Structure 1
Amino acid sequence: MEKLLLIGIDTRSMINSALQLDFELFSTSYFSTSDTPTIKNQKIILKEKYGESCGAFENQFSNLDILEFSKDYLDEVDYIIPISGVSPSDFSKRHKRKILGTTNVCDIENKFKFFKKIKNEFLTPMTFKLSDVDEAIEIDKSYPNSQFILKPVKGSGGYNINLLNNVSDFQFNDSEFILQEYVTGINVSSSILSTAHAAKTIMNSRLLTLNDFGKQDNFIYAGNILPLTNESVMAEFNGIDDIIKEMNETSENLALEFNLLGSNGVDYIINEKGLYVIELNPRLQGTFECVEKTLGINMLDAHIKACRGELVDIPEPKCYSYKKIIYSPTRMKYEKINLDNIYDLPHIGSITEKSEPLLTIIDSDKDFKKLYEKVELASELINKKAKLHQSDIK
C-alpha cells in the first residue's frame, strides 16, 4: 500500500477524506484538535493540556519546525501533500519530488513576483516592493487619492496586513514587504482543479475576513460561503452571473499560466471597476470541507487524480455551505459546547488566548437564509460561552 503524508497547520479535514482512500496514512500538524481522527502514524506539535495556555499561533508556529519534526516521515512515505502553513519551497529536492501538487511556487508565493507577471494581463492593485517604511510613506504621498496596505511579500491567511496609516511604529525586521493599493469591495474566491494540460473551476465562493464581522481593517481569514450566488455574495451587486463567468475564465487561465497541479485557489476583490486578482494559493483551500458538502465529492481524491492527469466530473451544487472560524473574544478555558456543527475543537480545559482561533463552524442547507441564521446563532452561543468561562481561568 502506498504511503501518504499530510503536513500542515491543521490536517483534520484532510485526514477524514484520506481515510476513505487506499493509502497508509501519515500526518504531521501543528494543532491537536480533539476531533482530529487518531491514526497510527501521527505527529502533533501543540500538546494541549488541562489548565495550560495554547499560546499565540503567530509566535509559536514555524514551518521549518514542522518539517524537522517530520523528517523520518518524509523519508518513509511515497507521497506528500503540503497543506496551509508549509510550502513546497520548504522541502529538499529529494522530498519535493514526492509532493502531489504544485511544486514550482516561487513566482506565486512571492506576491511581488506574482504581481509583476500578471499586471499587464489582468486587473490588479498598484503594487510596490519596499525597502523600509519611509519609502512606503513617500509612495503614499505620490498618490494622494489612493489608500495603501502593507503586506508581507510571503504570507497567507491575512496575517500581518496593515493599513499604512496604522503603522507609524511598524518595523520590517527581517521580513520583506510590499505596498499595495487598498481595493475596497467584495472578497471572493475560486477553487480550481488542474492537470498539466487542463483546468476547470470547481466552485466560487464569498471569501470572509474578520473585517466582514466588525473587526475594522482586520484582514485575517474567517471563512467562506459557497456557491457564489446573488444571495451568498451578501451585497447589493448586479451581474453576478457575468462575474462568475469571468472568475472561471481568469482562474483557469492563471492555473495554466502558472502550471498548477491539483486543487488550488485564486482570491479576488470585486468592485465597480471590475474583478481584481489579489493572490493565488497553490494548495488545498480552506473551502475543502464546504466543497465536499456542497458537491458530495471527496476533494482529496479529486486533488490526487488531477495531479495524476485526471479531472473528475464536477456535479451541480446540491446546497449552500458556510464555514466560519471563531476567534476567541476573551482568554478562556474551553468547556464542551453542545452543537453539532462545530469542528476543530480544543481539548477540554485547555486555555485559548484572546483573538486566537477557537473553533470552526461548518454547516450546510439548501436554503441560504436558514443556513446563515444557523451559523450566526451558533456563533453567538459560542461567544457567550467563551465569555462565561473566562472567569474560570486561574
Structure 2
Amino acid sequence: MQNILVIGFDTRNIVCSARRAGYTVCSVDAFRDLDLQECAHASALLECRTSGELRQLDSDWITAKMNDFGLEFDAIVPGSGMEALDPCSFPCPVLASSPEAAKKASNKLHLAERLEALGIPHPHCYSPDELDAIEYPVILKPATGGGGIFNRVAKNRQELLALLEEYSGLGQGFTEKEIVVQQFLEGTPASVSLLSKEKESMAIAVNEQLVGIPWFSRLPFAYCGNITPFRTKCAGEMEALSEELVLELGLMGSNGIDFLVTEKGPVVLEVNTRFQGSLDTVEKAMGINLFEAHIGCFRGELPEKPEAKLFAARGVIYSDRELFIDRRLMEVILREKSADIPRQGTVIEPDWPLTSLFSSASTREEAIKSLKQGAERIKTFIVDRMTG
C-alpha cells in the first residue's frame, strides 16, 4: 500500500502524518493550507462549508477528483465530515469504521441512548417532546459535528426558544431535529485517543482539551486545541470506559472519545469516529505515528502502548474579524511554530480558524505559556495594522 487519498473538511494533520510515514498522499479538503500542499503529492479544494453539504457530496465527484490526480489509489482515508463515506462507491478500500457504525456513534442523540443502556455516565439529552420537562441550564449543539462553534447555553425556556430560532437562521442547514438539547455540566474538557481493531482496542493518550480560551477565540465553546498528556486521577477510568465504548460501537482504526471531567468523575460527551484534532500533540508527546498505527488496525495490528515523553500543546487561533492574508501577515504567522497556514491571498471569515500554534516542554505550564505568547504576537500585529 503506497498511494492514499485523504478527504475531509480539514485534512492537514492526517496528510502530514501519512507523509511522515512514507506514503504518497493526495488530499481533498476545504482549506488547502500552505503546509498541506507541502506535504501532499497533490491536492484539490472541497467547496463545502457545512456538514450538510459534505453529507450530500456525490461519490462520482470524488472519483473524478481521484482520476484527476493521475494515481492508482490503494486506499481512501476519510477525515472530518466524511466519516460515513460509502466504501461500495470506490474502486479501493475505505480505511474507516463502517458507515453505519460511524453514523450512529457520531449522532449525539443515538449515542446518549447507547450510553444510557451501557450505564456509562453522560449528560442527559432531551428529546423534542420533553421540552416542558427540561431542567435548566442546558446546552444546545448540532447533532453531528460543529467543533463547538455553534454550541449555545440556554438558562430558561425563553432563551431556548430564541436559540432554536437562531439556529434556523444561521444558514448551516440546521433543523430542530438536528439540534441536541443537553444537560449543561461544569468541568474540564478532555479526550481519549484510541486505536481499535476487531475485538480489541487500546487507549494511547488522554488529552486536555482547550475550549473557549479567550486569547484564542471569542466563542465560548470553540475547540481551541489540546495538551497531551492530561495528568488527572481520572485518566485510568477514562481509558477503560473508552476502550469498552469503541468496541461496543464497532469502531475501527483511530477514534476519539470526548469527556468532561466533573467533580463526580468523568462523563462522556461525544465520539469522534475519525482522526482527531489532537493528532499532532499525541504524535509529539507519545512518539507514535498515528497514520501508520491507523493503517495497522486494518491489518489486525495494534502497536505497543506508548508512554508520554513530554507535554505537547496545540492552540487554534480564530480571527475576530474578516482578514485578508497578505505577505506581511504570512510572515508573522510563519515566524511562529505554526501549522494550518492559510494561503496568501485568501480571506478568513470572522470566528473562523486562522492558524494553529504548537509548543512542547517538560511541563504543562511552559507549553501553554509558549502558546499564549505566540497568539499574543499574532493578534497584536493584526490589531496594530488595523488601527495603524
TM-score (norm 1): 0.84
- The 1:333/1:370 distance shift into structure 2, 3 A limit, reads same
Q: Is the 8 A contact 2:8 2:30 kept in 1?
A: yes
Q: Deviations over 1:67-112 (max 9, x none)?
A: 5642225675331111112222x43633397221212213211211
Partner SS state of residue 194, structure 2: strand
Give 2:380's aligned amino acid. K
In the TM superposition, residue 66 of structure 1 has moved relative to its aligned partner by 7.9
Worse overlay, 149-158 or 272-281 = 149-158
| Cα distance in structure 2, aligned partners of 1:125 and 1:84 | 24
Could you say which residue in structure 2 is the equivalent of 1:51?
Answer: none
The answer for unaligned runs of 5 or more in structure 1 is: 47-55, 230-239
On the 8 A contact 2:12/2:340 being kept in 1, the answer is yes
Q: Does 1:100 align with 2:95?
A: yes
Would you say the 8 A contact 1:188–1:269 is kept in 2?
Answer: yes
CA contact (8 A) 2:217 2:318 kept: no
Residues 1:64 and 2:32 aligned together:
no
Q: Partners of 2:216 and 2:3 in 1: how far apart?
A: 44
Runs of at least 5 residues in structure 2 that lack an aligned partner in the other structure: 169-173
SS in 2 for 1:218: coil
Q: Aligned with 1:369: secondary structure?
A: helix
Are the equivalent residues in 1 in contact too, given 2:83–2:96 (CA < 8 A)?
Answer: no
Distance verdict in 2 for CA 1:60–1:283, change over 3 Å: closer
Paired letter, 1:119 = E
Is contact 2:217–2:320 with CA below 8 Å preserved after alignment? no
Give secondary structure in 2 for the equivalent of 1:36.
helix
* 1:359 shift after superposition: 0.3
Once the two structures are superposed, what CA deviation does each residue of 1:340-384 show, in whole Å capped at 9, x if it has no partner? 311111123433222111000111112322222111100111111
User: 2:133: which partner in 1?
Assistant: 139
- Does the C-alpha gap of structure 1 residues 159 and 98 become closer, same or farther in structure 2, counting only changes over 3 Å? farther
CA distance in 2, matches of 1:214, 1:341: 15
Contact 1:332 1:387 in 2 (8 A): no
Q: Distance in 2 between matches of 1:329 and 1:216?
A: 7
Compute the displacement of 1:148 (Å): 0.8
Structure-2 change in CA distance of 1:65 and 1:106 (3 Å)? closer
In structure 1, distance between residues paired with 2:154 and 2:213: 16
Query: Could you say if the C-alpha distance between residues 366 and 311 of structure 1 is closer, same or farther in structure 2, counting changes exceeding 3 Å?
Result: same
Q: 1:139 to 1:74 in 2, by over 3 A?
A: farther
Q: 1:130 to 1:246 in 2, by over 3 A?
A: same
1:129 corresponds in structure 2 to 127
Determine which of 344, 347, 353 is the counterpart of 1:348.
Answer: 344
Determine if contact 1:129/1:177 at 8 Å carries over to the other structure: no
Give the Cα separation in 1 of the matches to 2:64 and 2:32.
20
Which secondary structure state, in structure 2, belongs to the residue aligned with residue 106 of structure 1? helix
Q: For residues 182-206 of structure 1, what are the alpha-carbon distances to aligned partners after superposition, in whole Å with 9 as ceiling and x for unaligned?
A: 0111111100111102111100011
Could you say what the CA RMSD is over the residues aligned between the two structures, in angstroms? Answer: 2.7
The residue type paired with residue 96 of structure 2 is G
Query: Which deviates more from structure 2 when the two are superposed, residues 121-130 or residues 375-384?
Result: 121-130
SS in structure 2 opposite 1:250? helix
Give how far 1:297 is off.
1.7
* Matched residue, 2:283: 292
Determine if the alignment matches structure 1 residue 305 to structure 2 residue 296: yes
Q: Report what 2:171 is aligned to.
A: none
What letter corresponds to residue 190 of structure 1 in structure 2? V
8 A Cα contact 1:30 1:66, kept in partner: no
The amino acid that maps onto 1:34 is: L
- How much does 1:61 deviate? 6.4
Aligned equivalents of 2:182, 2:114: Cα separation in 1: 15
- Structure 1 pair 343–61 and aligned structure 2 pair: CA distance change class (3 A): farther
Look up the SS of the partner of 1:204 in the other structure. strand
- Count the aligned residue pairs: 363
1:11 partnered with 2:5: no
Give the 3 Å change call, closer, same or farther, for CA 314–153 of structure 1 in structure 2: same
Do 2:140 and 2:154's aligned partners in 1 also have CA atoms closer than 8 Å?
Answer: yes
- Quickly say closer, same or farther: Cα 1:70–1:385, change in 2 above 3 A: farther
SS in 2 for 1:380: helix
Deviates more, 1:69-78 or 1:20-29: 69-78
Q: Is the 8 A contact 1:7 1:27 kept in 2?
A: yes
Higher relative contact order (CA 8 A, sep 6+): 1
Distance 1:164-1:96 versus aligned 2 partners, 3 A rule: farther
Q: 1:79 aligns with which of 72, 75, 79?
A: 75
Percent of matched pairs sharing the same residue:
26
- CA shift in 2, pair 1:84/1:126, >3 Å: same
* Change in CA separation of 1:381 and 1:212 when aligned onto 2, cut-off 3 Å: closer
Which range moved further: 186-195 or 205-214?
Answer: 205-214
Alpha-carbon distance in 2 for matches of 1:368, 1:349: 36
Shift of the 150–60 alpha-carbon distance from structure 1 to 2, 3 Å rule, reads closer
CA contact (8 A) 2:137 2:184 kept: yes
**TM-score scaled by structure 2?**
0.85
Match of 1:50 in 2: none
Aligned position for 1:183: 185
For residues 139 and 96 of structure 1, what CA distance do their matches in structure 2 show? 50
| Amino acid corresponding to residue 382 of structure 2 in structure 1 | A
